[in-house]
Chains A and B, each alone.
Chain A
């Protein structure tokens, strides 16, 4: 699916609530006090994105890129995504297209069964936190946070 209209996005700026969907305990811990977090403990990256995609079908919109960062799926198990907390009464095709494309990439990239040392694991959490944090200034500017 190619890009549908992006004009739907401007409507979000007027909404005043969003949440962070994440399987990253560091995100839950660090941002949990300031923002609404839905923490999917122990869930995989595909499960996080699948849940986000399902929410889109229910009228929610995504605010950040589902495949942010260049650390590959299969390396980092962590995904964090910002979504509107309230549903609209219409389906946002831009969000849907992005989610389905992201899921398609995740399914095709080599998924390793690496256990990873705990040091690497913390670092993946850190990079993922940094990626989602990079969106905060824009959210604040839009009056959403």
Chain B
């Protein structure tokens, strides 16, 4: 039975002992249309639709999809707050035992939507959730540590294999059973190390891995090393007394009122603030926007995070040539690596253009 061509059917009769499932899919799998219908607003329909039928089979007697939420990928991603609320309300109405999103395979916006809504359902409604997508789907990196994400191939041809894995993991979650290691259950490694008994002993696995490595064949390490982004230190400043020093901070110091609305966590922007003629950051003019530490001391005296007072002193004493007229600030609390890199590149370019010789970076 091809899941693509069948239409929605009314929900099968849900017996008392069966678990209730809500399924989230996009406009394409919901048979609304293709890319041109990606702005379709979220809509709840009874029973399973499209891939939901495959799930119905995989879930067997134990669970049934009582409702399917069909939502356009553009609509979701471009109306994040509204979309979240709308879908959460729909799910809340159904009061399911389990929430399944996708699978999204390699469709980026779909994957982000699946991960995002599954995460919201888990954290705000306390309902267990499962999704599935390809490892390179941007949604995977964003949400794999928050939501169990079954690893899929990069196209929907893998549906037949993926659906049972998602169903099986979903049922385990609902029943509160022990979830095995990522390789056992088929989900993307989520940063939680789990023990399990492998088929072969470690020494044999090591030899097999080595032979693959030696033949330049693909192999999968059992423990991926944390990769540190190592930066070469620049050459030392020979003469500080002629250098222009700028302050850049991730400590979140901003003018009082946070005019640039830098977020207290997961910041998406940074600000640059003029301090020419300012000798000291005082509590009436400056505050911290950072949500990750107790703000009392930084609010009392922002120099504690951005040491304008000391550097101005050094400038007067001739220890440094000049304190740069601008300091740059963002909030380093759960800031994504991607955004951090973006800020850094932009700020560095500006500082270089402004003739700054060195930067003092402060954080908390």
Contacts and interface: CB of A to CB of B under 8 A. Distances in A.
A touches B (Cβ under 8 A)? yes
Interface of A: 1-2
A2 B229 CA distance: 10
Interface of B: 228, 230
B-side interface mostly: loop
Closest 4 CB pairs of A and B: A2-B228, A1-B228, A2-B230, A1-B230
Contacts of A1: 228, 230
A2 B230 CA distance: 9
Contacts of A2: 228, 230
B236 to A, nearest CB: 10
Nearest to B233: A93
Nearest to B227: A2
A1 B229 CA distance: 9
A2 B228 CA distance: 8
Nearest to A97: B228
B87 to A, nearest CB: 37
A59 to B, nearest CB: 15
B237 to A, nearest CB: 15
A2 B231 CA distance: 12
Nearest to B236: A90
Nearest to A91: B233
4 contacts: A1-B228, A1-B230, A2-B228, A2-B230
B235 to A, nearest CB: 14
A7 to B, nearest CB: 16
A114 to B, nearest CB: 25
Contacts of B230: 1-2
Nearest to B230: A2
B98 to A, nearest CB: 33
Nearest to A93: B233
